[in-house]
Structure formats: structure tokens, C-alpha cells
Chains A and B, each alone.
Chain A
Amino acid sequence: MATRIGVDVGGTNTDAVVVVDGRVVAAHKTPTTADVTRGVVDAIGAVLAASGREVDEVEAVMIGTTHFTNAVLERKGLLPVGVVRVALPSTAAIPPLTDWPEDLSALVGGGSWLVRGGYQYTGEVADALDEDGLVRALREMDARGIRSVALTGLFSPVNGAMEARAAEIVHNEHPDAHLTLSSTIGRLGLLERENAAILNASLVDLSRRVVDAFRAALSALRIEAPLFISQNDGTLMNDGFVARYPVLTFASGPTNSMRGAGFLSGLDDALVVDVGGTTTDIGVLTRGFPRESFIESDIGGVRTNFRMPDLLVRALGGGSRVAERDGEVHVGPESVGYRLTSEAVVFGGTTVTATDVAVAAGLADIGDRSRARRLPGDTVRRGVERVQGIVEEGVDRMKTSAEPLPLVLVGGGAALVERDIPGVSEVVVPEHAGVANAVGATIAKISGETDRVFSYEKTERAEAIETATREAAERAVAAGAVAESIETLEVEELPVAYVPGGSVRVRVKVAGDMAGATAGISP
């Protein structure tokens, strides 16, 4: 039997589930603690005990975490980065870290060095790598005590050889330095790719500590199964990979939650409303994956070109404060967050929260119901209406057609919402809706991606797609996928505008089952 443990570390709660052959057999929810790792150990220990399974039955542990997103948002635990761009004379008019928030660039920008080198869009050499210039840059960096390097080469997604050669030089000069190569994480668009590489390089110390702590947590529990971490597109990386590429975990939480909602409800096309402790995410599931946002993603004020789920976020959660102001009942945006279980009325506190209102209205049964009876009936009624109004307005904005879609309601605060929502064919609250995010982590596969420009006049279309698919598969295997199980998820061909000669940008994404794990889960 295939036993998997899924964990989601959110801002408010840490959730854990045990999934056996695609069925959730145990779930556990605890407030996220200041010592996040301790919380993960406790959650896994508790859920495993509740499941009655033995540690040696566990085939894999999947963790979704907001550690790295939060580190960037809170400007904590970030390393100064030596930024090397191999692109001169091109790109000189826009130096690295342009358009970054000043506080972040002051923290992360250890210095920038522009070096001659790079390719044309065809992958042919535009300028040879200035190896002496690179060595000089690295020595200056060393003199400044910089230990993490982000290296970005012109058109490196098309041809990674020059970045690879530069990496050899970095390793010779600084055998101990962390190195992030832009071609391993980003797509075409040098500035956005460079930004992602710099963010990644600033996180590598933290990611090693976090991954080591997760590993220590598993070994404390005597779990020998492999560890995987969720990434932004709903696929997985093995622990060695995430230690090197923490930036790829950004936005994995909402993706897991939506995928989990789809899995638990058996619906591939649906609206998903995930009500957490502080916020509500509203998204759309299309063929089992979240609809992607088409806006350049902004992380902590830095522009990158990651594809993120298209989400509408509202300041509504179980911990949202309910207050009367100017004769109106407001719900949120302030929230008691993880202090819900001490500050909310039904838990013996004095702050009226959305949870209290839902309990008083009979929508939820949490804490001490008798305490909720003290709330004025008018406040309860208008509070419930307000919550419903926020959800209905959000659902209406995210809907793409007049045709009613089913809606899956998940998250710890799912009970806050009444089941009658206009413009929706049905509202489904699946079993284990409160831990959909942790379930989502357990169903993921491992992916690989390529993004290159081909000339269809020089390379046959079929051959170009085959080449791109092969490279994507190689990346998936490097990230921990079983080669035989790899399937193509997406092939996107985008003609390069304003250029004659049939130049087409080809992007391919593939995914396969985890290596080291037995047969995949079937829903």
C-alpha cells in the first residue's frame, strides 16, 4: 500500500495528512509556531499516530512551505548576493537590481559585476566569455566576503554552455561559494530571470537550514522515506533540489490547496474558495490545475517571470475581527491569526471573530457554543451577510462565463460560508476540506521545463518540439522524476513577433512520478 504524508506550513496553521492509496486516513491541524520545524515534527508525529500506520510504511513525505516567500516578504534570513551578468556589451543600459525596492536591494545586493559574453537568440556565440574579467569579479567579491553568487548569461535558456563554463570558474575560484545559475530557474527575459536568480541566491543559506531541519525532523521520527517539497506549479522537487532552488517554492501553498480541492471533490473544472485564518483565496481549476495568472509576478516588490496561479485574495478568514464602525458591521481586514484559539470568544477570549459569528449563526460548531450566544443577534446576522457578500463578489469576479461552475469550498474557515451562492451550479465541501492544501502536496508529480527559440525554417517543427521535450525531461529526471513515467503537460509555441524567418519560441513542460516512491496515487 502506498502511504504518503503531506504537510502544509501556512501562516496560521500547519496541516498534516496521511494518505493511503489515494484515501485520506488521518488529518491533523495545529497552529503554526514560531519554531516552524518543531511544529512540522509535532504535526507529522501526531498524524502518523492517528493513522495507525508504521513509519516504515511511509513511501514519501511532501511538504509545502511558505518559509521562503515569507523570508523575502519580511526581509529575514537573506544573504548578500554577488550578482554576475555575462552579457556585455548588451544590456549595459540597465544594471542589475534596477527597479528593486531599496530596502531589499540594500540587503541582498552585495555588488554587481558585468562581464563580456553571451549568445544570440539562435544560441550562436555573440561574445566569448571574458574569463579573466570573471575571475577579477570573483576576487573582488571574495574580498567583500560574499559567499553566494547569482550568475546570469545572455540567452542562457537557449544555450546554457557559457553559464556552465562560468560555473566551473566560480567553483575553481571559490569552491565553497553557493552558485545559482539563471538558466536552471528562469525563462527568457534576462532581467526577470536575473531577479529570480538573485532572490534564489539570497535564500540558499535559509533553504539549507530548513531542509536540514526537515530531514532531522524525519529522522527524529525514524522516517526513512524520501522528502519532497512543493513548487509553484503544483509539482514537486526532491530535498536536494529545493536546497539549491528555494525560489521555486513561491506560491506553492495556494496551488496545493486548489489541486487538493480538485482531488478531494473529484472535480477537474471548478471554482475553488479557500478560507484560511487570515485570507481567502479564490481561484479557478481547469483540468485539475490552477488557471495561471498572465501578469508578471511580483514577489516582495521584485519582478520575476514565474507563472503563478491566478488568485483573487480577500482579507477574510476564521480569525478576521468583526467590528461595528459607522453603523456598519465590518469583517476584517484585521485578523487574530494563529491566536484564534486564545482570543476568539468561543475559545474564552474577548475578540469577536468571523468564527464566533459563524458559530452563533449555527454554521459552525467550534469551541464553546454557549459563549457565542452572548453576541447580539443583529451583529451575527449582518456579520454573516458581510462574509457572504465578500465571497459572492469574489466568485463573480473570477468566473469566466455565465455558465454556472461547481464551487469547491476548502480551508480551515470553510464553515464560515453559507452554501447558497448565486451563479454557481453546486457548492461542494469535500471531506477533509480543512486540509486540502496538505492533500494537494501528496498528489503532485515532478516536472521539468524548457523555453527556447527555434527557427522552423532551419529545424523541422517536430524535431524542435522533440528536442525541447527531451531537455525538459532531462530536467525533470534531475529533479527526481522517474524517466519512464514522464508525460508532456504543455507545449506552447509562440511565434516571435516582428521577425521574418519562422522563429518560434517553444516552451515545453513535462512531469513524471517521483523516483524512490512506488506506484502513484490514483484518485
Chain B
Amino acid sequence: MKLERGDLLHLATGAAFLGAGGGGDPYLGRLLARAAIDAFGAPELCPAETVPDGARVLTIAMLGAPTIMLEKAVAGDEVDMAIRRLEAHLGETADYLMPLEIGGINSLVPVMAAARLGLPLIDADGMGRAFPELQMTTFNAHGVSTTPLALTDDHGTWLLLEAPDAGSAEGMIRTVSVALGCSAVLCSYPMTGRQAKDCSVHGTLSVARDVGRAIHSGTRSADPVGALIEHMRTTPHYAECRLLFDGRVVDVRREVEGGFSVGHLRLAHVENRDRHMEIVVQNEFLLAREGGRLRAVVPDLVCLVERETAQPVPADSVRYGQRLKVLGVSAPPVMRSPESLSIFGPQAFGLEEAFVPLESLADA
């Protein structure tokens, strides 16, 4: 099955939803993917189960600040170069590309890369949502090495990195990416087909595409958010989806702590003014609490959507006075394993709460 030009709008909307507020506006990624498909043709989308065990798989992503990417976009050559440099270092050519992250712009960058290089794309990723750091992947949780990796910019700068562990690799590339103008292309986590099958979140590209399609067709229905929730319940591993809150933003506080933006949103319920929800934001929406009670916590997804259209709302466009619905979505089982939770559970973000699956938390 090919990923066609006509799928990109749906994929972008679904990826914005699965980004849980983070991962950057996929609009830019959609334009990049579309230009690449127009010039090079649509890439093949392959279910993870069909990838041969011995195949060479590379992941591809953009790294940096979405605000800055919206200005700088991409030249194009740096995407090819990141893959070619890592291939040269490995002494092997890639058989498949795979997204690192399904949430936000990084769902579309691999489509662009696969189209440009004529490589098939695996229908899976390593985050099942958006996360801020390179080590926060199911690949890392299940023993795949982050490095060697290649990092490139649009001026022909490239570097290869070996690091003792994923955390060190993250620290190094974060620093370097600032020197590269806060926008770079990253080819990392070289792995075999077997590892790709065992350590990824399966089916996420097609899930994102279908979620986006459901949002677009639901917009014309009487209850767009209800239609989205119904659709989520049909997906393979995001099936627990609930409406956590229907409210209006009454407070937005944002601070920079340790280089990352930490925010606190407060919503007042549309119908019952005694009900309030607090949402903790650190690039993504991490946690939702109502009256001190936990309603959902990372790695489960907290997603904010417009009440009237079910369009996903990115964290940095939340404003005072907006009317939003808050949805909780279960993370796929591979992301809730003890290994995964030790890498991207609540503690990894400095939260005090322990992880409790959405479906075990009391509903409102």
C-alpha cells in the first residue's frame, strides 16, 4: 500500500492529535511530504510484520524547535545527507525507513525522506505519541542502541555521534542542535528488521491517518468530539478514549525550567462552575488532574481539542478563554511496560504521581 498525496492532510491532523499538544505543527511536514511526493512519487507503507528479520532499518526525524522550523523549514538535501552519512558509517544501505515519533511534524518528515530516497516506510514508530527527548523511545526501552547517529543541517554541516547511552546522546545532540540554529535532521537508532518488529509501536502511521480522516469527516456531524472518541475506540491500541473535561481556559502560566517550558493550564467546566481541571504541560500535555484527583498521566495521552470541530490544539496555542474538550487516550501496551515506564513514565518528567492506566482511574 502506498501513502498517497491525498492521505497527507489526514495524517497531519491525526499526528497532531497523537502529539498530545507537542511535536510541532504538522502543517509544515505536510507541505514537505507533498512536495517530495510530487517530485519523487508516493512511498510504500509496509506493516511492521512484513519486514524481513535481517533488513537494515533507520529512523529519521527533525530535531529542534517547532517555532523555528516554521521559519527555517527544510532545504531537502540535509535529509538525504543524514541517511547517507549513517549508511556510509555502517557500511550498509538502508532497506527501510521508520518514523522515530508519530506525534506532530515527525510523522511527516519520514514520508518526505522515503519519497526522496525511494525507500519503503515501516508503519510503526518508537514513541506512539510525541516526546521531547531522544532516549524516550520504545526502541531504547527494549535495548536498541540510539547510536551511531548522524545529525545534519541545511548548510552542509554533518556529524556522526557514538555515545555510551541514549541519555548522553540526547544531551550531546540537544547542545549541538542549538549551534545548528535549533533545527536539524537526525538519523538514529539503526536496527534490524527483527528489532523493528519487536521494539516499535505498530501501525501508528495508518492509525494517525485514519484518526485524521475521522476528525475531518466528524467535523460535519452533530457531535465531532463524540465521533472522534467513537473512532479511537476502534483503533488497535488507543482504544481506551474518554472525555475527561469540557471547559474553558481560565488560566495559562508558562515558565522556563531547566531549558524546557513548563506550563500549568486551568480550565473551568462549561456547565458546572465548581469543576476545575489542571493540566501540566512540558512541551506536551503530561497530566490532567481534577480537584486534586488524577484523571490521566503520561505516557497515556492527554489531548486537547476544539469543542466544535475536534481539531487538535497544540500546547503553545492554548490561550485564555478558549473552549476546549480534554480527552484521555490509553498508550499502547508496549509503552506501558516497566522498561518503558522507567524511561518515559511520570518520573522522567519530574512528576510525583506514579503511572496509573487511564482505565483504572475513576471517571468523572
Contacts and interface: CB of A to CB of B under 8 A. Distances in A.
Interface of A: 87-95, 98-99, 120-121, 126-127, 154-155, 188-192, 284, 286, 291-292, 294-296, 303, 397, 400-403, 453, 456, 493-505
A495 B155 contact: no
A121 B181 contact: yes
Contacts of A191: 28, 31, 70, 73
Nearest to A126: B181
Interface stretch (B201-209, B286-294, B311-319, B330-338): B311-319
Given A189-B70, A502-B259, A400 B75 contact: no
A154 B72 contact: yes
> Which 9 pairs, one residue from A and one from B, show the smallest C-beta to C-beta distance?
A500-B259, A495-B261, A93-B76, A91-B73, A400-B248, A92-B75, A499-B65, A189-B70, A93-B74
21 contacts: A87-B72, A89-B154, A90-B74, A94-B28, A126-B181, A155-B72, A188-B67, A191-B28, A191-B73, A295-B311, A296-B27, A401-B268, A402-B273, A403-B273, A495-B255, A496-B65, A497-B283, A497-B316, A498-B132, A500-B175, A503-B65
Contacts of B67: 188, 453, 494, 496-497, 505
B256 A98 contact: no
A291 B256 contact: no
B255 A402 contact: no
A88 B154 CA distance: 9
A269 to B, nearest CB: 11
B303 to A, nearest CB: 16
Given A121-B181, A493-B254, A90 B72 contact: yes
B22 A499 contact: no
Contacts of B315: 497
B308 interface: yes
A121 B71 contact: yes
A496 B273 contact: no
A89 B155 contact: yes
Contact of B256 (A99, A126, A504): A504
Given A120-B181, A495-B261, A497-B315, A91 B174 contact: no
Contacts of A90: 72-75, 154
Interface in B31-79: 31-32, 34-36, 64-68, 70-77
Contact of B72 (A95, A190, A294, A500): A190
Contacts of B268: 401
Contact of B74 (A94, A400, A402, A505): A94
B178 interface: yes
A133 B112 CA distance: 29
Given A188-B71, A400-B323, A499-B259, 12 more contacts: A89-B77, A94-B31, A94-B73, A155-B71, A155-B72, A191-B28, A284-B321, A294-B322, A400-B321, A497-B132, A502-B259, A505-B67
B contact face: mostly helix, strand, loop, or mixed: mixed
Interface string B175-206: 10010011000000000000000000000000
A268 B178 CA distance: 44
Contacts of B273: 401-403
A32 B269 CA distance: 44
A500 B260 contact: yes
A192 B31 CA distance: 13
A99 B66 contact: no
B181 to A, nearest CB: 5
Contacts of B32: 93-94
Contacts of B144: none
Nearest to B250: A401
Contact of A189 (B71, B112, B248): B71
Given A294-B317, A503-B65, A402 B270 contact: yes
A294 B313 contact: yes
Contacts of B175: 500
Contact of A98 (B31, B64, B68, B181): B31
Contacts of A126: 155, 181
A120 B315 CA distance: 24
Contacts of A95: 35
Interface of B: 22, 24, 27-28, 31-32, 34-36, 64-68, 70-77, 112, 132, 154-156, 174-175, 178, 181-182, 248, 254-256, 258-261, 268-273, 283, 308, 311, 313, 315-317, 319, 321-323
B76 A498 contact: no
Contacts of B311: 295
Contacts of B132: 497-498
A190 B71 contact: yes
A497 B75 contact: no
B73 A93 contact: yes
Contacts of A93: 32, 35-36, 73-76, 112
A403 B268 CA distance: 11
A93 B316 CA distance: 25
B73 A497 contact: no
Contacts of B316: 494, 497
Contacts of B65: 121, 496-499, 503
A397 B308 contact: yes
Nearest to A401: B248
A99 B268 CA distance: 38
Contacts of A453: 67-68
Contacts of B272: 402
Contacts of A89: 75, 77, 154-156
A498 B31 contact: no
B74 A91 contact: yes
Contacts of A94: 28, 31-32, 35, 73-74
A401 B322 CA distance: 10
A497 B35 contact: no
Nearest to B132: A498
Nearest to B269: A402
A90 B66 CA distance: 15
A286 B322 CA distance: 12
Contacts of A189: 70-71
B105 to A, nearest CB: 11
B181 A402 contact: no
A501 B181 CA distance: 13
A479 B70 CA distance: 28
Nearest to B174: A500
Contacts of A501: 178, 259
A495 B68 CA distance: 12
A495 B254 contact: yes
A93 to B, nearest CB: 4
A60 to B, nearest CB: 32
Contacts of A87: 72
A188 B256 contact: no
A3 to B, nearest CB: 36
B75 A499 contact: no
Nearest to B71: A190
Contacts of B258: 500
